[in-house]
Amino acid sequence: MYHNPVLLKQSVDDLVTRPDGIYVDCTFGGGGHSSEILQRLSPQGRLFGFDQDLDALKNNIEDERFTLVNQNFRFLENSLLLYGISQVDGVLADLGVSSHQFDAAERGFSTRSDAPLDMRMNVLQQLDAKAVINDYEEEHLADIFYHYGELREARRLAREIVHHRKIKRIETTEDLKKIFSYIPQFKQNKFYAQLFQAVRIEVNQELEVLKDMLQQAYSVLKPGGRLVVISYHSLEDRLVKRFLKNGMFEGEPARDIYGNYNKTFELLKSKATVPDGAEIETNSRARSAKMRTGIKL
């Protein structure tokens, strides 16, 4: 299995309300959440798993109630229609990078290993981290570092990368890290994590893909159906929180003369669910996790 699924019991408790219903696991990965969902379903229940990573196909679950779709979850609605499914009872998404992807050094996700600058969740796509670092204009790089990595020195960082790549193309994760070796050691882990996060989000268009998935999840959910999303950084969580609150990602919804607006979801809990200390101790990936659940109105 790729990793210990984060918030496993809590997420599936929130998700599955009808054992004979139709459910979607948008981020199949190692199949941990899907296996738990299938245990809760009756023989009439159905589950669709989505994953664009070819490695995930090796984890397919042999169960007649289960269908694994090798597709990015931004194509959720159309992909389900191909199977004759227009409405479902619940959608689960466990966002971010799996432990398997981090641990596969050659994928270039980890700050701990020297590897080619890649970071593609779908290895068949063209854009990779090497192209972002070596080919993007300085201003574009600065925007990525500032907005996706929340790095205050974004313009200086971009300028330094452009300077170094003029001398020699930046090919590996170690090449990239060496540019910033002057960062004090006690700050390095956080800095490299933010830098790599920014590049990874750009390579995979993660925030735009998340927006597409959330909107399509709303479309395919039945009234009373549940959307459960586990996120790992504030950029994702902010989008999820806003969407569950008013169906929008920015701006404010139109209100009537009494100040009311049409809500799309009711929150199952007012605050995000977070892992307890025991789970964090056994699974470091859980440390930053936040789970939010909405019930479609």
pLDDT string in tens for the chain (297-residue length): 456 899 999 999 999 999 999 999 999 999 999 999 999 999 999 999 999 988 889 999 999 999 999 999 999 999 999 999 999 999 999 997 766 666 676 788 888 889 999 999 999 999 999 999 999 999 999 999 999 999 999 999 999 999 999 999 999 999 999 999 999 999 999 999 999 999 999 999 999 999 999 999 999 999 999 999 999 999 999 999 999 999 999 988 889 999 899 899 999 999 999 999 999 999 988 999 999 999 999
Residue 88 belongs to domain with CATH number: 3.40.50.150
Instruction: Tell whether 68 and 214 lie within a shared domain.
Output: yes
Domain boundary among 205, 228, 254: 205
pLDDT computed for residue 99 by the predictor: 64
216 is in an annotated binding site: no
Instruction: Tell whether 231 and 86 lie within a shared domain.
Output: yes
Structure tokens at 87: 């409405």
Asked if residue 2 belongs to a domain, the reply is no
49 is in an annotated binding site: no
Structure tokens at 252: 């404010």
| pTM more than 0.75 | yes
Instruction: Tell whether 270 and 148 lie within a shared domain.
Output: no
32 is in an annotated binding site: yes
CA–CA distance, 258 with 156 (Å, rounded to integer): 48
Asked if residue 3 belongs to a domain, the reply is no
Residue 163 belongs to domain with CATH number: 1.10.150.170
Asked if residue 194 belongs to a domain, the reply is yes
Instruction: Tell whether 85 and 160 lie within a shared domain.
Output: no
Instruction: Tell whether 198 and 271 lie within a shared domain.
Output: no
Asked if residue 123 belongs to a domain, the reply is yes
Closest CA to 293 of 271, 263, 260: 271
Instruction: Tell whether 190 and 119 lie within a shared domain.
Output: yes
Instruction: Tell whether 284 and 217 lie within a shared domain.
Output: yes
Asked if residue 228 belongs to a domain, the reply is yes
Residue with tokens 């735009």: 208
Instruction: Tell whether 191 and 214 lie within a shared domain.
Output: no
Instruction: Tell whether 196 and 74 lie within a shared domain.
Output: no
Instruction: Tell whether 91 and 211 lie within a shared domain.
Output: yes
Sign of the C-alpha dihedral, residues 256, 87, 41, 5? Answer: negative
Asked if residue 82 belongs to a domain, the reply is yes
Asked if residue 1 belongs to a domain, the reply is no
How many degrees, rounded to 5, is the angle at CA 29 between CA 34 and CA 265?
60
Asked if residue 223 belongs to a domain, the reply is yes
Instruction: Tell whether 198 and 220 lie within a shared domain.
Output: no
CA–CA distance, 24 with 15 (Å, rounded to integer): 10
Three state DSSP letters for the chain: CCCCCCCHHHHHHHHCCCCCCEEEECCCCCCHHHHHHHHHCCCCCEEEEECCCHHHHHHCCCCCCEEEECCCHHHHHHHHHHCCCCCEEEEEEECCCCHHHHHCHHHCCCCCCCCECCCCCCCCCCCCHHHHHHHCCHHHHHHHHHHHHCCCCHHHHHHHHHHHHHHCCCCEHHHHHHHCCCCCHHHHHHHHHHHHHHHHHHHHCHHHHHHHHHHHHHHHEEEEEEEEEEECCHHHHHHHHHHHHHCCCCCCCCCCCCCCCCCCEEECCCCCECCCHHHHHHCHHHHHCEEEEEEEC
51 is in an annotated binding site: yes
31 is in an annotated binding site: yes
Range of the domain at 240: 8-99+207-296
Closest CA to 91 of 54, 32, 49: 49
Instruction: Tell whether 146 and 194 lie within a shared domain.
Output: yes
Residue with tokens 């989008």: 239
